[in-house]
Amino acid sequence: MFSITKEEGIFKDFVFDVEGQELEQAYKTILNELKTNAEVDGFRKGKAPEWIIKSKFKKYILEALVEDFGKKIYETAKDKGFDVMDMKINMDKSSFSEKPMKLSIEGYIEVFPLIESDKLKDLNGLELEVPALELTQEMIDEAIKYELEEKATLEPKEGTIEEEDYVAIEYTVTDKQDNEKVTQKLNGILKELGLREDLYKEILGKKEQDVVKLENVALQETNEENAPKIDIEAKIESVKKKVYPELTDELAKELQLGETAQEAIENIKQKLQDYLDHQKEDAKIDTLTKYLLEEYKDITEVSRTEAIRIANVVYEEELNRLNSMLDLNSFDENTLKLIERSTYEKAMKEGITSAKTRSILVSYAKKLGIEINDDNIKQYIDEQVESYKSMLPQEQKDEEAVKRLRENIEAYFSREDRKSVLLKDILASKAMDKLLEMIKFKEVSPKKEEKVG
């Protein structure tokens, strides 16, 4: 019998009592296995008396019974309407007695947080402002340069550094805790080097052979006081300007941009417009997400399990990014721990925000009567396959490899808890699409800064 004994928001304490033939059979199976295989001092294997087995392995028997009935607890909670995200057993409060034979399991479940439908606003006709994104000549010129990249030449530059210049930088980071230094060289277009913003701004306007220093700054750009501190020294070894050839009919054909220069430009314009249209949709999603988070900030509970799941993914991605810029293994153990802690705290904040957003969207999906069909699930799996396929080496993208990839993904989501994640992803996505249709978006051009003096 499953019963809730205490409720605190999305966390609910439970007791699950088991009696009767089902328990007797499970107990008998465990006991027979122990009698056959358990090793007890003073007795040959399989020859220890039953009463000694019961006494010596009392804790193991309880744990084995709890494991046997764990899935049934989960299924019973689901059958009672609880959308279980996580379940924890309290072994200290759980108990088993042989006479009378009874198993009592205590623990808690975490349920997916939903906002009650009557507390969700009707967003039909709501007007939100989004930034206007229009195709400009500057964008077209930049896109043409991108297509002509392989034909560009580098020429020495004597003036101050601009964001489009090609620079060679010797970049030294000094750990403030143990004074250990890491040096690497960076080469490329300044704005594309992925430098931290404070260093990037310092380099702009400098000249070749200048040295830029940042002292006692956080390893990651953050306001957190406990973030590891470092010194940065960047020597600008060389500055060159990229010179691009004129786009001619001949060059357009060679680069397969079009039959003529004009056709190439029209093709580039179309690609840019497609990109801007996609960016506009992303801007709508971002604007709506911010609105929802603000609107329901006081009543939205957060699924701890969901937040941690998302944070772990973000954490790994951010550590990989940091490691590609700095050799993290070169830092001492204490500094590395600080980096990891700071990175995880940042990832956890993102995980909480994403978990809140999913709760709100799934709540709207329920309110709007959105349902999931087999085609939705197939499309979701297809998207997962395409996403992971892009990570495979070219030699592993054959039909057989992709088939195995699909089978692995389908097997992964076949587990009940993982399927629950899949279904919520689909519900959240469909809810977002529906809400976007209901809302009126007003494009607003950014205000131009007034010139002073």
DSSP result, 146-207: HHTGGG-EEEE--S---TTSEEEEEEEEEETTT--EEEEEEEEEGGGS---HHHHHHHTT--
Amino acid code (one letter) for 220? Q
Give every CB contact of residue 401 below 8 A, 6+ residues apart in sequence.
392
Residue spans of the domains in the chain: they are: 2-111, 153-243, 369-453
Say if residue 203 is exposed, middle or buried (CB neighbours under 10 Å; 0-12, 13-18, 19+): buried
pTM: 0.74
Say what the pLDDT of residue 224 is: 64
Which CATH superfamily, name and number, covers 2-111? Trigger factor ribosome-binding domain (3.30.70.1050)
Phi, psi torsion values for 85, nearest 5 degrees: -95, -30
Residue range 356-403, pLDDT digits in tens: 999 999 999 999 999 999 999 999 898 888 888 777 777 777 788 888
The answer regarding whether domain 153-243 maps to CATH 3.40.50.300 reads no
Q: Are 111 and 84 in contact (CB under 8 A)?
A: yes
Mean pLDDT of the chain: 89
Is residue 305 helix, strand or coil? Answer: helix
Domains 2-111 and 153-243 share a fold: no
Side-chain half-sphere CA neighbours of 240 within 13 A: 16
Average pLDDT over residues 425-446: 93
Residue range 165-200, pLDDT digits in tens: 999 999 898 888 778 888 889 899 999 888 888 999
- Which of 425, 440, 278 is closest to 357 using CA atoms? 425
Is residue 373 helix, strand or coil? Answer: coil
Say whether the peptide bond before residue 49 is cis (omega within 30 degrees of 0).
no
